[in-house]
Structure 1
Amino acid sequence: MTATTLTGSLLVATPMLDEPPFRRSVILLLDHDDDGALGVVVNRAADLEVDRVLADWSDTVSAPGVLFMGGPVGTDSALAVAEIAGAVDPPGWRECFGRIGLLDLDAPPALLAGAISRMRIFAGYSGWGSGQLEDEITEGAWYVVPSEPDDVFSLRPETLWRRVLRRQRDEMAFLATYPDDPSHN
């Protein structure tokens, strides 16, 4: 395992990272060790209702009830990120950090009644091989900041990039005002 794990942290795209799919993205790291890292983009809601693709889970997902674009890897698969409601791990749930973990979408939703307080489903994920994420951070592509419990379940995901930057206590807070198109500055 790495000396310092970034699991549970947010990766916030710097203005330097200006190409899709990561432009102005906020990624929650669900796993980070010597073998690499895995996370989901938490601020890219899709225009596709969960009930159209995973109807059994439509009553369990948190508002706005749509799929989120988790990243460019495995876009034909889905990851469910959930917060457990109690101290007992429900069936099909694997802790990532704190009360946040991954939920097996093959588990029957009825078994989880009352066990999940919030949940989002992501099409695809963001992944890095051994040392790749660390290199990108060193090159200035990402800011690494602490996550807050509501980040992954934000009711306004489209504003998350600016809000996460604004709450930082250093020069990063100033970047929250960085224009969408710097040529219009």
Structure 2
Amino acid sequence: MLIEPRELFTDLERNPVEVGQLLIAAPNLEDQTYSRNVVIIYNQTSQFTEGLMLNRVSDVAPPVRGIFDELYAPPKAFYYGGDVEPMGTLTIGVVAPGVNASKHPFLAPIAPRVAMVDVRAGEEMRGVLTHMRSFLGRFIWDNQELERQIEDGDWYVAPALASDVIAPASVDLWAEVMRRQPMPLPLYSTFPQEPYYN
């Protein structure tokens, strides 16, 4: 018998909440802002944690265009990063194999082959990044609030992969990330988006 979805994450060993980790929403999380979402943590202080949602294309911004648009992973569109400063832009890049991101001032490493990018670097980005994606807005949690949400089973914490930050819009990233977690999480990867209608 499967565990009730809301209790699923509370019964598992917990990973640390830190930069480079993913927050995976519980299968039946009631808050529609976060439902079936995957958030990457890119910054953390003693008081708050900041993250970007990886799996929602923005419906308010035009396609990405510019002299470096060949670096943008398809779809070449802005993604919705979160509800804080919704018109502020942040960019994540996938670092080329063999490149040491810490040696490039315009990169701030957050996970293996993943870094925040200062796009003002311009030509310096060529050959250093294989892909990048820009986000409008971000999420910010008070650390105590986030810990409480995790204790309540709203989120599962897992390491991010470079492929997560540039997954195509056609990919169900939430399901893909769930499938690679320890059992029994893969069993829930097919949990429907609208369970009450199934």
Structure 2 CA distance for aligned equivalents of residues 35 and 97 of structure 1: 21
* 4+ aligned runs moved over 4 Å, structure 1: none
Structure 1 CA distance for aligned equivalents of residues 68 and 91 of structure 2: 10
Partner residue, 1:40: 52
Q: 1:23 to 1:31 in 2, by over 3 A?
A: same
Structure 2 CA distance for aligned equivalents of residues 59 and 182 of structure 1: 39
CA drift of 1:61 comes to 1.4
Give the TM-score normalised by the residue count of structure 2.
Answer: 0.81
Number of aligned positions between the proteins: 178
What fraction of aligned residue pairs are identical, expressed as a percent? 27
CA root-mean-square deviation: 1.9
Give the TM-score normalised by the residue count of structure 1.
Answer: 0.86
Higher strand fraction (1 or 2)? 1
Partner residue, 2:167: 154
Partner residue, 2:21: 9
- Give the letter for the 1:162 counterpart: A
- Give the letter for the 1:147 counterpart: A
Q: Which runs of 5+ in 1 are unaligned?
A: none
Q: Name which of 97, 101, 105 aligns with 2:111.
A: 97
Checking the alignment, whether the CA contact within 8 Å between 2:43 and 2:49 is kept in structure 1 is yes
Q: 1:150 to 1:93 in 2, by over 3 A?
A: same
Checking the alignment, whether the CA contact within 8 Å between 2:22 and 2:159 is kept in structure 1 is yes
Partner residue, 2:84: 73
Structure 2 CA distance for aligned equivalents of residues 147 and 97 of structure 1: 7
Structure 2 CA distance for aligned equivalents of residues 166 and 113 of structure 1: 33
Does 1:122 find its partner at 2:153? Answer: no
